[in-house]
């Protein structure tokens, strides 16, 4: 009975977004060339060969230097005193100028001391919100962390909020039926997050975690497995294969429709291996990770959440699992959002 209730609720919440567009299938080979020019020859062959090369050396694909410079930008209305908006250039230049500047909203925590009066290690977390989050997404989480003595930076994902070109009303260019663009833009998000970690280290933070939700969870895990300076991960709504979520999930049904007649589920899984968490779990080592999933999740199917958790345990990652008695969208509703916030905050206080 509970399953039926939550499934109905999930579908009702998902239907609120009525601006989803089924976009045409594209190989997107031009997104995988150095200067964005269409390659000579068959685009399918180019994309498949690119994926093969990446999987031979994924560390090189995700390698990035710290940003050459940092700036500031105005904060949105409602910002609290002490908050700042940090900007820096993305490591990847896309055809859309708006998307090439990264926005990092900084929520500094006050100084903390141990019981003996000594200064405690400075702790911070990079926060990556869900797909299509607006500029206020996860601000509450960041302020919660700051109130607990953990500074937070909220990363605007590629093609989200201030980084969205005027032609879009949704962040379609980070997840779509364009194979190459989806690969490159998710890679861009990881490189942006690594530069955010580098900025925190430059500010003198001793320990840094990465927290992500939904799409942000996937990106957080990809970042953590390629960023040795990350000390812990919080993964809120999790999955093993990027392509399988798109194929089976409620919130991505319109994206999956764009692949009809072009690719099947297994082919898409193979093409999107470079952005699939299961391919990299072995690189996390002994750094602790929190996995949160929801029992009635129609967007991140349950078997995919359990699959990545099993992989984490197989790789001997120090794994903490919490299960929410709700679905994907209903996680944002009371009382589930408070339970979720407690899980994330208590984990970070313990492991940072």
**Nearest partner of 340 among 327, 91, 106, judged by Cα:** 327
Which pTM does this prediction carry?
0.95
- pLDDT given for residue 154 in this prediction: 98
- pLDDT given for residue 237 in this prediction: 96
- pLDDT given for residue 110 in this prediction: 79
- pLDDT given for residue 133 in this prediction: 94
**Structural domains for the chain:** 2-15+27-35+42-111+121-351 (3.40.50.1820)
Mean pLDDT in order along the chain per 10 residues (352 residues): 91 90 96 75 94 97 97 95 97 97 96 57 94 94 96 98 95 97 98 98 97 97 98 97 97 96 97 98 97 97 97 98 97 96 97 94
- pLDDT given for residue 18 in this prediction: 82
**DSSP string covering 54-117, please?**
HHH-HHHHT--PPPS--EEEPPPTTPPTT-EEEEEE-SS--S-GGGGEEEEEEEPPPP-B-TTS
Beta strands 84-89 and 101-107: pairing type? antiparallel
Q: What is the DSSP letter of 337?
A: H
Q: What are the Cα distances from residue 119, in Å, to 73, 95, 151, 200, 350?
A: 31, 46, 15, 18, 17
- pLDDT given for residue 2 in this prediction: 86
Q: What are the Cα distances from residue 172, in Å, to 35, 159, 169?
A: 22, 8, 8
């Amino acid at each position: 009975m509970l399953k039926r209730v939550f499934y109905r609720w999930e579908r009702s919440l998902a239907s609120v977004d009525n601006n989803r567009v089924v976009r045409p299938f594209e190989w997107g080979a031009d997104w995988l060339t150095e200067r964005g020019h269409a390659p000579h020859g068959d685009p399918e062959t180019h994309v498949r060969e690119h994926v093969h090369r990446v999987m031979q050396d994924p560390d090189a694909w995700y390698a990035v230097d710290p940003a050459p410079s940092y700036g500031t930008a105005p904060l949105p209305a409602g910002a609290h005193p002490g908050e700042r908006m940090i900007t820096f250039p993305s490591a990847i230049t896309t055809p859309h100028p708006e998307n090439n500047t990264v926005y990092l909203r900084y929520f500094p925590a006050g100084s903390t001391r141990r019981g003996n009066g000594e200064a405690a290690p400075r702790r911070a977390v990079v926060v990556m919100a869900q797909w299509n989050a607006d500029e206020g997404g996860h601000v509450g989480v960041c302020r919660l962390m700051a109130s607990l003595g953990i500074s937070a930076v909220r990363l605007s994902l590629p093609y989200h909020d201030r980084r969205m070109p005027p032609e879009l009303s949704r962040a379609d260019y980070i997840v779509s039926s364009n194979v190459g663009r989806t690969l490159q833009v998710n890679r861009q998000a990881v490189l942006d997050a690594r530069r955010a970690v580098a900025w925190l280290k430059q500010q003198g933070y001793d320990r840094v975690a990465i927290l992500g939700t939904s799409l942000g969870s996937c990106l957080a895990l990809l970042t953590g497995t390629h960023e040795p300076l990350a000390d812990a991960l919080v993964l809120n709504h999790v999955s093993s294969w990027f392509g399988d979520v798109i194929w089976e999930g409620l919130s991505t049904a319109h994206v999956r429709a764009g692949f009809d007649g072009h690719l099947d589920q297994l082919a898409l899984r193979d093409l999107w291996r470079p952005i699939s968490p299961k391919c990299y779990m072995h690189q996390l080592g002994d750094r602790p990770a929190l996995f949160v999933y929801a029992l009635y999740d129609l967007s991140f199917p349950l078997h995919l959440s359990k699959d990545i958790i099993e992989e984490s345990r197989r790789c001997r990652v120090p794994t903490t699992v919490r299960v929410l008695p709700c679905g994907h969208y209903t996680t944002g509703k009371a009382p589930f959002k408070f339970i979720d916030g407690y899980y994330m905050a208590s984990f970070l206080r313990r492991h940072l």
